[in-house]
Chain A
């Protein structure tokens, strides 16, 4: 089955800096790659997703890139703010299956 590795497990940045979280997946048939943000005590919520026919997607300060050949995808957050502090999860899935999540990255943005 699919396996998703996520790095780093913790990331600390200064407000205004950029943050990058990387994930690798094992199954080349996976075609959907979402990123979820989970604030303390709250449920995970989708922040951005990308499908295998696209190499990059942006939404304001957030972007995701996908390299199908290398089987890895990354989350980029620019101009980080304290409210970006949370746990971020990457995931992967293929048609007809459930999402398989990485172990998460705890992002801390200090002002």
Chain B
């Protein structure tokens, strides 16, 4: 299960605050991804990055921002513009962003009240 880590496991924030979720990998993977998981909704893509300093929006990017300054790190910021931020967030990485297995981190459960 090593190789891709997310911290913290649980995160609590007040409404109106921005919060940054950490994702780190030591697999030397080029591509990294952020998904949001809600009950009955599957895994919905927020952002993904194929290489350093480049990233693309997924299906539900509104209210989120990312950066990819280093190959091994892909932090996700949940901004106050995200209307329903409480969810389980999963980070993943793959060798490349095409037809390769994605390895998932353990996830961060964010609760905003």
Number of interface residues of B (CB under 8 A): 26
Contact with B along A1-23 (1 / 0, CB 8 A): 10000100100000000000000
Tell me the B85-113 residues at the A interface (CB within 8 Å).
90, 97-102, 104-107
Are B106 and A43 interface neighbours, CB within 8 A?
A: yes
Given contact pairs A101-B43, A103-B42, A95 touches B104 in the complex (Cβ within 8 A): no
Which chain A positions have C-beta within 8 A of B106? 42-43
* Residues of A in contact with B, size category: 20 to 34
Q: Does B45 contact A (CB under 8 A)?
A: yes
Nearest chain B residue, comparing its CB with the CB of A99 = B102
Docked CA distance A97–B96 (Å):
9
Q: Binding site of A, secondary structure by majority: helix, strand, loop or mixed?
A: loop
Task: Return the contact of B97 from the options A42, A98, A101 (Cβ within 8 A).
Answer: A98
Are B105 and A102 interface neighbours, CB within 8 A?
A: no
Q: Does A78 contact B (CB under 8 A)?
A: no
Docked CA distance A99–B45 (Å):
8
Nearest chain A residue, comparing its CB with the CB of B90 = A43
Are A45 and B104 interface neighbours, CB within 8 A?
A: yes
Which chain B positions have C-beta within 8 A of A103? 40-42
Tell me the B23-61 residues at the A interface (CB within 8 Å).
31, 33, 35, 40-45, 48, 50, 56, 58-59
A-to-B contact residues, CB < 8 Å: 1, 6, 9, 31-32, 34, 42-46, 49, 51, 89, 91, 93-104
B-to-A contact residues, CB < 8 Å: 1, 31, 33, 35, 40-45, 48, 50, 56, 58-59, 90, 97-102, 104-107
Which 7 A-B residue pairings sit nearest by Cβ, starting from the closest? Answer: A32-B99, A103-B42, A43-B104, A101-B43, A98-B48, A95-B98, A101-B42
Contacts A95-B98, A103-B40 aside, 16 further interface pairs with beta carbons under 8 A come to A32-B98, A43-B90, A43-B104, A44-B104, A89-B43, A93-B98, A94-B98, A97-B98, A98-B45, A98-B48, A99-B33, A99-B45, A101-B43, A101-B44, A103-B42, A104-B43
